[in-house]
Amino acid sequence: MSKRLAATFRRAARKQASCDAAGLQLTLPGLLHLHGSDSAAVLLLLLALFSGTPIAGAGTVLAFVILALAWRWHRGADATPRLPERLGRLVLSEAWSRRCLHALSWLYGTSARVLRARWALLYHPRTHVGWGLWIGLMGVLILLPLPLGNVLPSLSLILLSLGWMFRDGVALLSSAVVGIGAVGFALTTVHLLADWAHTGLSWLQRLA
């Protein structure tokens, strides 16, 4: 599966770079079509990737869709979610379309080499609720307006999606480890910002 997806996105990247495809801009439905699947796991992977791109106004929308996916996760990663109309209209620029295609090609090429079905306990159906809560937590972290605060949560969700797509418990465990780092980063950043705000307020009070 991962080899087929890697080949698909390599071909799409070559087509996008060709003269005939100049100006090609991707949409989320277009990327789902290239996957040949619109499962929750595939959509979550794309949302996590999109959350790191500079699309004006998309961050909040993406975070809320991730939260909606978290709510539905108990139905399983293969359940087909409903894509919000506004999200379906989001368009990547030509440059970001090219980067996204290359990133997905590399991601699936790497997955073909390192991912395999193992540690089935971590993706047992009884874990769906727990992983849904985890997805929700990462969605909240992406929603927070913290500098670089979406990087680690997005990476955690990418690993989680790959873990479900390829039934690899090691990828799911890696998602948890990265997510713990994301929580730690968020707490540290909030603490520093609060400390700086308190220091600045004290300085202004002394001036007054």
Q: Higher-confidence residue: 61 or 150? A: 150
Backbone angles phi, psi at 166, to 5 degrees: -110, 10
Instruction: Flag whether pLDDT at 192 surpasses 70.
Output: yes
73 neighbors 40 (Cβ within 8 angstroms) = yes
Of the listed ranges 30-34, 82-86, 185-189, the least confidently predicted one is 82-86
> What gap in Å lies between CA 5 and CA 13, rounded to an integer?
12
Q: Which residue has the tokens 């007054």?
A: 208
116 neighbors 165 (Cβ within 8 angstroms) = no
Instruction: Flag whether pLDDT at 147 surpasses 70.
Output: yes
Q: Higher-confidence residue: 144 or 85? A: 144
Residues in Cβ contact with 118 at an 8 Å cutoff, skipping those fewer than 6 apart: 167, 168, 169, 170
pLDDT digits 0-9 by tens, 27-74? 777 888 888 776 788 888 988 888 866 565 566 778 888 888 888 786
